[in-house]
């Protein structure tokens, strides 16, 4: 017997999500089992099973932590855009008329 990890997807717009494991001799049997174990209440329109032994992970998952400041990868880093916008607009308004309108 092998352990299979089970993934299901509720619709076309969603990604597959892990929902549990089943014990089965092969993938064919694992699918049959997973169907009733994990989608019998219509939780999924799509189903995958993957042998656990085919899944790999880092030995040390603390590698996945972001150690130093990476705030620039997030929208919050640009929160001051509102203040900057009003500063830049007043600067724009202060320009001589001929430089402002092109229409």
Q: Which residue ranges make up the site for another protein (CB under 8 A)?
A: 12-15, 62-63, 65, 67-70, 72-75, 77-78, 80-81, 84-85, 87-89, 91-93, 95, 99-103
Task: Output 40 or 64, the one with its CB closest to another protein.
Answer: 64
Task: Output 25 or 53, the one with its CB closest to another protein.
Answer: 53
Regarding beta strands 2-9 and 17-24, do their DSSP bridges make them parallel or antiparallel, or are they unpaired?
antiparallel
To another protein, the closest distance from the beta carbon of 1 in angstroms equals 25
Sheet hosting strand 2-9, strand order edge to edge:
17-24, 2-9, 46-51
Contacts of 92 (CB under 8 A, 6+ apart): 100
To another protein, the closest distance from the beta carbon of 80 in angstroms equals 8
End-to-end CA distance of the chain: 76
């Amino acid at each position: 017997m092998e352990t299979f990890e089970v993934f299901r997807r509720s619709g076309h717009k969603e990604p597959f999500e892990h929902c549990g494991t089943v014990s089965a001799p092969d993938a064919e049997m694992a699918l049959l089992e997973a169907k009733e174990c994990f989608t019998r209440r219509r939780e999924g329109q799509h189903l995958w099973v993957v042998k656990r032994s085919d899944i790999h992970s880092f030995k040390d998952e603390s590698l996945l932590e972001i150690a130093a400041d990476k705030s620039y990868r997030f929208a919050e880093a640009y929160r001051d855009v509102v203040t900057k916008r009003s500063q830049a607009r007043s600067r724009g308004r202060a320009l001589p008329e001929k430089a402002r309108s092109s229409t």
